């Protein structure tokens, strides 16, 4: 059975608010702590045989090396970004309930992939 691959891309959301003030002032939030909590919950829920999870800190790295970031450049997407099986699903948060539903659907699809159907 193929594993579902979940990547969380963390980084710093930069930009200016409507009044021109800096949104990046204060402590740096990359989503790593939130990822760690979600990873533990998902690992308990599904098990390591069904999930492959990875946190990627993009600070100081070239955004072009991350397709999920490069494709959404300038579209207002924010960190953290959640990528499942190579497709960006969410940005700005890590929605546990929604991730669980997508993983269930991905695993159900893997169980009855067309190559395994007899007819």
Domain residue ranges of the chain, discontinuous segments joined by +? 4-11+27-110
Task: Answer yes or no: are the C-beta atoms of 53 and 39 closer than 8 Å.
Answer: yes
Region 14-41: mean pLDDT is: 70
pLDDT band at 58 (very low <50, low <70, confident <90, very high): confident
β-partners of residue 81 are 9, 91
Domain 4-11+27-110, architecture per CATH: 3-Layer(aba) Sandwich (3.40)
- Does this model's pTM top 0.85? no
Residue 92: left if φ>0, alpha if ψ -120 to 50, beta else—which one? left
**Which CA distances in Å does 39 have to 66, 107, 118, 119?**
21, 17, 36, 39
Region 84-99: mean pLDDT is: 92
Residue 22 three-state SS? strand
């Amino acid at each position: 059975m193929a594993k579902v691959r979940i990547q969380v891309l963390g980084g710093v959301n930069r930009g200016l608010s409507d009044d021109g003030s800096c949104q990046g002032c204060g402590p740096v939030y990359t989503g790593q702590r939130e990822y760690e909590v979600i990873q533990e919950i998902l690992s308990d829920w599904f098990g390591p045989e069904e999930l492959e999870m990875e946190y990627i800190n993009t600070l100081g790295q070239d955004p072009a090396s991350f397709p999920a970031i490069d494709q959404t450049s300038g579209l207002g997407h924010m960190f953290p970004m959640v990528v499942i099986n190579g497709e960006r699903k969410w940005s700005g948060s890590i929605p546990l309930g929604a991730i669980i539903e997508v993983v269930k659907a991905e695993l159900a699809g893997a169980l009855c992939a067309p190559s395994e159907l007899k007819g």
